[in-house]
Amino acid sequence: MRAPIPTLARVTLALLLLLASATACTRADHQAGTAARGGPQAIQNKGSDTMVNLALAWAEAYRVQQPATAIAVTGGGSGTGIAALINGTVDIANASREMKESEIEQARAQGVEPVEHVVAIDALAVIVNPANPVSQLTIDQLADIFTGRITNWQALGGDDAGIILVSRETNSGTHVYFLDEVVRKGDADNHDIFAPQTMLMPSSVGITSEIQRNPHAIGYDGLGYVTEHEKLIAVARDAASPFVLPTVQSGADGSYPIARDLYMITAGEPSGAIADFIAWIVGPAGQQIVADLGFVPLPQE
């Protein structure tokens, strides 16, 4: 006959089973919130640095409307937020680009079916120092600038001075979008990359600081982050197209050629407090905050 399990061993076994059960429920708990509907809720929101100020403003305003819902917002880049969603450590990933196929495959391998929700539009502004006489560029010219094929402003009607390239770092969704849609001109078969001398900045602050101090620098940033200390470049799709400045209007109507959707990504279709929060964001109150911060609101039906 098998000997009876000692009391301490039974307690230990029970604790291990309880821990395993709790671990298995972690991802479900993220979708449902930390408590039953109507009680205190905690939503973890992480990702795009482009969206971080917008996400913080949403969180603060929503807390006034729903005091029982606490929303923790952190940046780190679109790739960081998506990785956290795949790993089950956040409820919502903010991203300034669509997920890559490789990320979707990783998510599915972890049992996560990612769902992308468009929550705003961003006109991605090309910026230079106000002292720079160049005011307009085509996509082709921008591609030649950021790949290093054009290295002197004189070739573009500017001063006889070398071009200083400034970009977001590679984990940024803004970097990925600019690489795909500007450097590679939206061509999936184009494998151009940023010139090796490009300065990679961890945040929008780094880009604007370099542009402000260097009259020969050029960079790009979300329209909502541009200040009066930078000069906006009017951009044309090609030499035969009109040059258009980035504005809320030109981003909304599609006339500005470097505009992109901004996303919140969830693990599956959201429910409970997460669904309520996203519904509020895409509604009139949330979209008013989008406009207030210089981003482009979604069309309202």
Predicted confidence pLDDT, tens digits, the chain (301 residues): 444 444 444 433 343 333 333 333 444 444 444 433 445 589 999 999 999 999 999 999 999 999 999 999 999 999 999 999 999 999 999 999 999 999 999 999 999 999 999 999 999 999 999 999 999 999 999 999 999 999 999 999 999 999 999 999 998 999 999 999 999 999 999 999 999 999 999 888 899 999 999 999 999 999 988 999 999 999 999 999 999 999 999 999 999 999 999 999 999 999 999 999 999 999 999 999 999 998 999 987 6
Domain 27-120+261-292 and domain 123-260, same fold? Reply is yes
Count Cα neighbours of 177 within 13 Å in the Cβ-side half-sphere. 28
Cβ proximity of 180 and 140 under 8 Å: no
- C-alpha distances in angstroms, 112 versus 45, 103, 264? 17, 11, 15
CB-based contact 39:209 (threshold 8 Å): no
Burial of 255 (0-12, 13-18, 19+ CB in 10 A): middle
Listed in sequence order, the residues at least 6 apart from 216 whose beta carbon sits closer than 8 Å to its beta carbon are 129, 132, 153, 159, 161, 162, 163, 164
Contact 166, 213 (CB under 8 A): no
Measured distance CA(55)–CA(277) in Å, rounded? 11
Query: What CATH number has the domain spanning 123-260?
Result: 3.40.190.10
Domain residue spans of the chain: 27-120+261-292, 123-260
pTM: 0.79
115 phi/psi in degrees, rounded to 5: -125, 125
Residue 250 CB partners (closer than 8 Å, separation 6+): 123, 244, 256, 259
CA separation for the pair 173, 171 (Å, rounded): 7
Lookup result for tokens 């008013």: 288
Distances (CA, A) of 140 to 63, 144, 173, 181, 244: 45, 6, 21, 11, 15
CATH 3.40.190.10 fits 27-120+261-292, yes or no: yes
